[in-house]
Structure 1
Amino acid sequence: MEQYRHALAIELKAPYPNQQKIATRYMNMGDLLRQLGRFDEARKSVKTALKIELDILPPTHPDLAKTHGHLFDICHSMSDYPTALEHAKESFRIAQKSHAANHFRIATAHNNVAAALDKLERHKEALKEAEKAVEIGRHTYPLGHPEMRVLENSLNALRWKISQLVDNG
């Protein structure tokens, strides 16, 4: 963290600060803070990165989808599922406009939407999103690939959960 802060300080003092580099520094700091469990600080740092990106990037730039994905991760970790869902949907919306229809980033965005919907107990909607994630992901990786296992496990967990709700409900 000390190195990230030092690099940020240098960048901020530059005669012509590179705003993209500054946003990246805030993003890196946010990622580290999330890993350390310092979620409020992480969210603040990544929101700062997003604000900078919104000022310098076109509204459909893939980096914006990625940043919203990071905010999804933080909010999900904080159990702030309504906000996590907002960021997952925004990441998906941007990814749809900046990537091909079968790009893995879109599959990941669907999976994030599914995860937030599941936590909000909107299981059937979550299942549809998880199914879309796996279907799109298959265009990039074969089933069983480590990247696909994440999507497959989410889908299988939702199917199991829904079957338990039906059996017990």
Structure 2
Amino acid sequence: MGKLEKALLSHQKALEIQKHVLPPNHPDLAITYDNIGTVNRKMGNYPTALSFQQLALQINEKVLPSNHPDLALNYNNIATTYKSMGNQLEALSFLQKTRQIEEMILPSDSSTLAATYDNIGGIYQDMNQYENAAFFYEKALEINEKVLHSNHPELSITYSNIGNLTFYIFLVTSSRFRRQVKYLLLKKCWLPIKCYCCKSNRNAIHPMVTISDASGIELVS
């Protein structure tokens, strides 16, 4: 039996006991439901995960204030499951609920809030809504540059998200890029792409694109 299976079995045993000794709307039941949902999600059992996460949410929406941090966590966990299922619209809906609570109860420079902005940006990028994605990535970056050390991994992730988005927009939507590609395929030249990858100079030309042959392009760090 693997670690996830053992974890699931332990949570299920806890749930059996709690159902006998706790009232049906007890917050501890919500925690256990959410734990079972999380383990099932990590095991790839998304419908089962979602059903337990929704049970947790039903309890917390009844017994907790509407701006309670546990509700924000419930919404975030459900969003993660929907994203894993490929349902970006539902994921975005629940992430926005998480954001609304966190913006009410957390400091404006909270790293938790930055992570939520990053997640929302990722959903918008998956939905090809690039302006919205850039807006939330920039909000995450603004916080992370204030509160994180300059070489913190989370800051690196935010820079990468913005860099990838900027390059992808340029690659997919720029008619100028398409015209340049046709020219460079013949000339075997370098094509600089401006992006946000470099913290020291956001307008630095990095990465670069070289046309290796007529079959496509190659990213060069």
Aligned residue in 2 for 1:46: 53
TM norm structure 2:
0.71
SS at match of 2:79: helix
Query: 2:157 corresponds to which residue?
Result: 150
> C-alpha displacement at 1:141, in angstroms?
1.6
SS in 2 for 1:139: helix
Question: 1:22–1:119: structure 2 CA closer, same or farther, 3 Å change rule?
Answer: same
How far off is 1:143 after superposition? 3.5
SS class of match (2:146): coil
- Number of the residue aligned with 1:60: 67
Q: Residue deviations 1:101-121, cap 9 Å, x none? A: 111121111112111111111
Q: How many residues align?
A: 169
Tell which structure's C-alpha radius of gyration is larger.
2
Q: Return closer, same or farther for 1:150/1:29 CA change in 2, 3 Å cut-off.
A: farther
Task: Tell me, yes or no, if structure 1 residue 108 matches structure 2 residue 119.
Answer: no
CA RMSD of aligned residues (A): 1.8
Tell me whether 1:76 sits opposite 2:83 in the alignment.
yes
How far did residue 62 of structure 1 move? 1.2
Structure with greater helix percent? 1
Question: What is the CA–CA distance in structure 1 between the aligned matches of 2:91 and 2:178, rounded to whole Å?
Answer: 29
Residue identity opposite 2:19 in structure 1: L
The gaps in structure 2 that reach 5 residues or longer are: 1-7, 180-221
Matched, 1:89 2:96: yes
Question: Which has more strand, going by share of residues?
Answer: 2
Tell whether the 8 Å contact from 1:141 to 1:148 is kept in structure 2 after alignment: yes
Which residue type is aligned with residue 110 of structure 1? Y
Q: Which moved more, 1:135-144 or 1:23-32?
A: 135-144
Note closer, same or farther for the CA distance 1:149–1:26 as it changes in structure 2 (3 Å cut).
Answer: farther
TM-fit CA distance, 1:18? 7.5
